[in-house]
Structure 1
């Protein structure tokens, strides 16, 4: 029969092994000199493409700041939203910065740094009646709803909008155009995405909710077994918050429309 000391020794060995693994993975990032950040490139104003094909946005700026702070070269890896967490867990990317909401389900499998922003579920529509909604049941009628596949908006719609005709797309621009072209009645998305659509298409009769229907923290997704890496990213993120850099970035991307000229 194993003694208490034996179990204690096993526990110490396991904890030491986990710490070494975390340190080893962080060391690999440092040795490579590269920080691989996953994002969609299709979630304005978090990330989107310019006319020249360059990727810009709030999350792009944040990724650049983190990489520069860590003295690493930034490598942005673009992929559909639904592939971000699987790619992170498979080691294809080092972290995810893509307007990702911190949920209990995601946090049960992955660590998160932040939040770096507080958002909430809203809708984009042409209907002033629907835009007066105060809760999901106000729009849970026989209408066409579009949202991003693999997102918390999809889960929100599937949970609360059981009487609608739900369409899933891989790109918010597709969803926005479906509202503009009257192919869907409502787009469910985080408030910043809805606000972006209003800025970009001011003459398309688009309206959004006065207040989001939920409160959702947005953070940086990281591997669950990289405690030292999580600590490092969280410390840099806290520094950016404390110095007011994130506030300036929010003004740039969510209040100032001039960057739209690049699209």
Structure 2
């Protein structure tokens, strides 16, 4: 089975060479980066950046809505040719996929009731239940740094916020950018606030989020790296960024 999968991935990679289409795996459940609008369309900053990058390299990019847990398997099986889903570059993932340079670097932070007196320490979270999206670097961070804290594992950040407002969890550990826009700035987020410090620890969060490709896609990676630099230089990146955030999500 592994041999068959490897051959399939190789064929998919070979077929992409010289193609005018690049299928992109996106999530559609990570606002404001990737979300569904009232028309059932996938929209968000990741989607706008996808369109800008694809225009820069001259290819059409059909979107493939994919659950987070299935992202990398879908890429390796040839169901898509790239993942643009705020996926952090980590050593573990880099053993399986090839990443472009970063195109995004937002920190992760805790959210809880503003008057709860919570802190981002073992003592501060003792006896608390913290929601986190499973299979993410946030999950890895909580498991590594807070092994004694009870975790609630969720398929999306939207599910975390529902349980946070319902009181089924005491805190959430999420991307700070999406947490601010998708929760704290909404009516549901009233009475909640960030607590603790922004977390960007390299051993967990890597060097930022990159575009994931199949190993061996060196030409495509270089084209996308060039496109990322181009939209940063020509102002297109910040034009998109400013539609969603008040601060530059690229980081330093």
Q: 1:192 to 1:89 in 2, by over 3 A?
A: same
Q: Does 1:68 align with 2:55?
A: yes
Q: Does 1:249 align with 2:249?
A: no
Tell me the TM-score normalized by structure 1: 0.80
Q: Distance in 2 between matches of 1:125 and 1:227?
A: 43
Query: Runs ≥4 in structure 1, deviation > 6 angstroms?
Result: none
Partner of 2:217: 226
Q: 1:139 to 1:103 in 2, by over 3 A?
A: farther
Kindly provide the CA deviation profile for residues 226-248 of structure 1, in whole angstroms up to 9, marking residues without a partner as x: 11111111111111112222222
Conserved 8 A contact 2:122-2:149 = no
Q: Distance in 2 between matches of 1:140 and 1:242?
A: 42
Conserved 8 A contact 2:53-2:231 = no
Q: Does 1:116 align with 2:103?
A: yes
**By how many angstroms is 1:202 displaced?**
6.3
Q: 1:108 to 1:254 in 2, by over 3 A?
A: same
Q: 1:240 to 1:27 in 2, by over 3 A?
A: farther
Q: Distance in 2 between matches of 1:163 and 1:202?
A: 29
Q: 1:124 to 1:29 in 2, by over 3 A?
A: farther
Conserved 8 A contact 1:136-1:213 = no
Q: Distance in 2 between matches of 1:178 and 1:107?
A: 32
The one of 106, 112, 124 equivalent to 1:125 is 112
Q: 1:138 to 1:59 in 2, by over 3 A?
A: farther
Partner of 1:195: 180
The one of 210, 213, 217 equivalent to 2:199 is 213
Q: Distance in 1 between matches of 2:28 and 2:117?
A: 29
The one of 134, 141, 144 equivalent to 1:149 is 134
Kindly provide the CA deviation profile for residues 16-62 of structure 1, in whole angstroms up to 9, marking residues without a partner as x: xxxxx99x93663643x322111111011110111221211110001
Larger of the two Rg values belongs to structure: 1
Q: Equivalent residues in 2 for 1:131-170 (5 A)?
A: 133=119, 135-137=120-122, 139-170=124-155
Q: 1:136 to 1:65 in 2, by over 3 A?
A: farther
Kindly provide the CA deviation profile for residues 162-221 of structure 1, in whole angstroms up to 9, marking residues without a partner as x: 222211111211101111111111111111121121122366211013641225411111
RMSD (CA atoms) = 2.4
**By how many angstroms is 1:74 displaced?**
1.9
Q: Distance in 1 between matches of 2:222 and 2:14?
A: 11
Q: 1:138 to 1:121 in 2, by over 3 A?
A: farther
Q: Does 1:79 align with 2:70?
A: no
In terms of fraction of residues, the more helix-rich structure is 1
